[in-house]
């Protein structure tokens, strides 16, 4: 293909390279350079605030690490973690002691299911700490996204971990 640009409007036109359409090429069109053609065919998409929000949300939902173990952190998971942390706090106020794994149910040790489907035993203070870590991680990602969106231009590598620490 042969590419031409209208110098007034910037509109790009493409014609067959074999010359079969040359008679239809208006005289005011300008032949595009190879660099212009490549820029036209492969435009650079600048990241938007919506792109940052999507990356932030992906990271929020991608899991949270607590005491070296990875846990799911989708919306319902975060709701469950927050609810368990609240119950753990109430159990502590009610007298639950560190190391007491039956703080939630006197007939069963309390355990949380990790991302690898293993059962992780937790006493009430551990569940409260887990809830805090999950909340702090979400908040950190929200602020990291805000910092990216506050920049004069969002970096093209905004999905790199270096921006989300």
Q: Are 108 and 153 found together in one domain?
A: yes
Is the pLDDT assigned to residue 157 strictly greater than 90? yes
pTM, entire model: 0.76
The pLDDT, as a whole number, for residue 44 is: 84
Evaluated on CA atoms 82, 85, 90, 93, the torsion sign reads negative
The percentage of the chain sitting over the pLDDT mark of 70, rounded to a whole number, equals 100
The dihedrals phi and psi of 67, each to the nearest 5 degrees, come to: 50, 45
Q: Are 36 and 54 found together in one domain?
A: no
- Give tens-digit pLDDT for 56-79: 999 999 999 999 999 999 999 999
Q: Are 86 and 142 found together in one domain?
A: yes
The pLDDT, as a whole number, for residue 125 is: 98
| Count of domains forming the chain | 2
Q: Are 102 and 133 found together in one domain?
A: yes
The pLDDT, as a whole number, for residue 160 is: 97
Contacts of residue 102, Cβ cutoff 8 Å, sequence gap at least 6:
108, 109, 110
Show the CA angle centred on residue 73, arms to residues 90 and 122, nearest 5°: 40
Is the pLDDT assigned to residue 28 strictly greater than 90? yes
* Distance separating alpha carbons of residues 124 and 42, to the nearest angstrom: 55
Q: Are 25 and 102 found together in one domain?
A: no
Q: Are 76 and 29 found together in one domain?
A: no
Q: Are 83 and 117 found together in one domain?
A: yes
Q: Are 99 and 56 found together in one domain?
A: yes
Structural domain span for residue 123: 49-163
Q: Are 69 and 143 found together in one domain?
A: yes
Q: Are 33 and 53 found together in one domain?
A: no
Q: Spell out where the chain has E strands.
A: 2-5, 12-15, 30-31, 64-66, 69-71, 111-113, 119-121
pLDDT tier at 92, thresholds 50, 70, 90: very high
Mean pLDDT, to the nearest integer, of 27-46?
93
The pLDDT, as a whole number, for residue 54 is: 98
Q: Are 58 and 99 found together in one domain?
A: yes
Burial class, 80, CB count within 10 angstroms (exposed 0-12 / middle 13-18 / buried 19+): middle
Q: Are 130 and 154 found together in one domain?
A: yes
- Give tens-digit pLDDT for 100-126: 999 999 999 999 999 999 999 999 999
């Amino acid at each position: 293909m042969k590419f031409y640009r209208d110098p007034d409007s910037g509109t790009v036109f493409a014609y067959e390279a074999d010359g079969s359409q040359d008679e239809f090429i208006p005289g005011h069109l300008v032949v595009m350079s190879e660099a212009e053609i490549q820029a036209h065919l492969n435009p650079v998409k600048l990241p938007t605030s919506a792109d940052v929000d999507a990356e932030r949300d992906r990271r929020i939902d991608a899991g949270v690490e607590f005491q070296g173990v990875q846990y799911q952190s989708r919306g319902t998971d975060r709701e469950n973690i927050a609810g368990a942390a609240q119950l753990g706090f109430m159990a502590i106020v009610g007298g639950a002691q560190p190391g007491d794994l039956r703080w939630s149910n006197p007939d069963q040790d309390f355990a949380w299911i990790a991302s690898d489907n293993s059962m992780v035993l937790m006493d009430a203070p551990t569940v409260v700490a887990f809830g805090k870590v999950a909340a702090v991680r979400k908040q950190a990602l929200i602020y990291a996204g805000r910092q990216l969106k506050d920049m004069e231009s969002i970096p093209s590598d905004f999905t790199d971990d270096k921006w989300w620490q």
